[in-house]
Amino acid sequence: MVKYTEKDASEKLTFSSISLSEVLRNELRLESSLYNNEAHKYRQLINDGKWETMKLISHSGNQGFTTNAGYPGRFKRDYISPSHKDAIGFIGSSEMLGIDPKPQKFLSKQTSAMTKCKVDLNTLLLSRSGTIGRTALVRNQLKNFLISEHSIRLLPNEYPGYIYTFLITEVGKKLVTTNTYGAVVDQVEPEHLFNIEVPNPDERLKRKIDSMIIESYDLRDSSNTKLEEAESLLLKALKLPYNPMELIERRNNSGIEFKHFDIKLSQHSERLDASYHLPIIESILNKIGENSESMVQLGDDTITSEIILPSRFKRVFVGKNFGTRLIGGKNVGELIPSNEKYLSNKIHENKIREELGIRENAIVITARGTIGKTMLAPKHFEEWAISDNLMQLVPTSEDIAGYLYIFLNSPYGYELITRNTYGGVVDALEVEHINKIPIPFLDNENTIAKINGLALEAKDERFRAYQLEMEAVETFNKEVLGMM
């Protein structure tokens, strides 16, 4: 007798037979992923459903839900400083998934990339290399940036939210990813998607699903606006410019940037790495000290109840129904984590309860690899667990959680977090480093309360945005696909 275990759920061996005509229809491609059993089942589900179907992409006289599927060719990128008057943010396929996309690289508005990489409102972006099939909808955030060639642009004729929902369902993702090719880096091309059929239900149902997604994205935009307002209030109260580098004179009379500085022996704090003692840190500490009523270290039990960095452990992954979703460093800043790994509830039960489970109002900070990214965890994250590359800070109450997050997420909080970075190969932070970060408190309690309130409202809007997206997916699965 064979007993089915939770581990079997993530390690299934499958096989199937295919006809020669099917190989011919797929241009003689022999990759096994193209003939995936699940994808075959989903195609059959769509074709046998109660609704007529239409192609995902219009081509060769066939009407589709989207037009103009394509992406820019490769081009030489001449990056410039974000402070340049012509700078415009350049977003990659992973950054586009963020709730509040923050470009790390910038191009000039005068470059030819402006016409190649600018995207219109309601365009669908589909990641086409590396991690395949991740989808984003261009609303008020992404329309302000240039998008890299690693994303296919799909321009819907109507109901962009409906097509977006199809692409983020298990069915849509599977139909896209089975078309992957490439020996080293996975890729997919627009022409590989020409045969994808999408159910075409009545206008009422398409409009219903579309409106959920549009509202979800509008809530994300609203949450970002609230966080920007809160940060602006804090920086104004502390009399700080947005860019911390404006606090110091960076160049000498010849215009050459300084590469050296000195410190007192009494200030070395047992740290000999130059990054810990950068002049900008002293300038920040002096400025926030001058313009705040008090400075409290982050580890003080009056503002935080605990700071947790999970110990290293061997991860046992299982199927979705047997585990707890694991949040990694890449997922900080995503509304719906792109990582779909699940820790075994049976094996990791104690560790999830004591170290990994995300607490209410927790502030999550990346502590390994890329340092200093922060997230005020929305309510739905409380069902999941952090990896041992993340640290979570648990505020003493809701009355201070939003305020702490706004400062830590600001350019000044980032500088104070990352100054503690250590490690020869992989950058890292420890709890004792975070404990010592000074938090400035204003003399005006009403301003603190307003900053805190805006952050919490933004957190609630993100949770509502998540609920709407999940509701749209559930509606699509039940009412369009007939899946229960």
Specify whether the CB–CB gap between 346 and 476 falls below 8 A: no
Would you state the pLDDT for residue 57?
Answer: 93
Three-state SS for the chain is CCCCCCHHHHCCCCCCCCCHHHHHHCCCCCCHHHHCHHHHHHHHHHHCCCCCEEEEECECCECEEEEEEECCCCCCCCCCCCCCCCEEEEECCCHHHECCCCCCEEEECCCCHHHHHECCCCCEEEECECCCCCEEECCCCHHHCEECCCEEEEEECCCHHHHHHHHHCHHHHHHHHCCCECCCCCECCHHHHCCCEEECCCHHHHHHHHHHHHHHHHHHHHHHHHHHHHHHHHHHHCCCCCCHHHHCCCECCCCCECCCCCCCHHHCCCCCCHHHHCHHHHHHHHHHHHCCCEEEECCCCCCEEEEECCCCCCCCEECHHHEEEEECHHHCCECCCCCCCEEECCCCHHHHHHHHECCCCCEEEECECCCCCEEECCHHHHHCEECCCEEEEEECCHHHHHHHHHHHHCHHHHHHHHCCCECCCCCECCHHHHHCCEEEECCCHHHHHHHHHHHHHHHHHHHHHHHHHHHHHHHHHHHHCCCC
Length, in residues, of the chain: 484
Below-50 pLDDT ranges, the chain: 1-11, 184, 250-256
pTM, two decimal places? 0.88
What is the pLDDT, as a whole number, of residue 322?
93
Task: Give the pLDDT score at 464.
Answer: 98
Fold of domain 239-250+266-460: Adenine-n6-DNA-methyltransferase TaqI; Chain A, domain 2 (3.90.220)
Start and end residues for every CATH 3.90.220.20 domain found in the chain: 25-200, 239-250+266-460
Q: Can you give the pLDDT at residue 251? A: 43
The superfamily (CATH) of domain 25-200 is DNA methylase specificity domains (3.90.220.20)
Q: What is the pLDDT of residue 52?
A: 95
Q: Is 256 exposed, middle or buried (0-12, 13-18, 19+ CB in 10 A)?
A: exposed
Q: What is the pLDDT of residue 338?
A: 82
Q: pLDDT, tens digit, for every residue of 282-309?
A: 899 999 999 999 999 999 999 999 999 9
pLDDT score recorded for residue 2: 36
CA geometry: angle at 483 spanning 477 and 484, to 5°? 105
The closest of 186, 172, 242 to 483, measured between CA atoms, is: 172
Res 13: pLDDT: 58
* pLDDT score for 467: 97
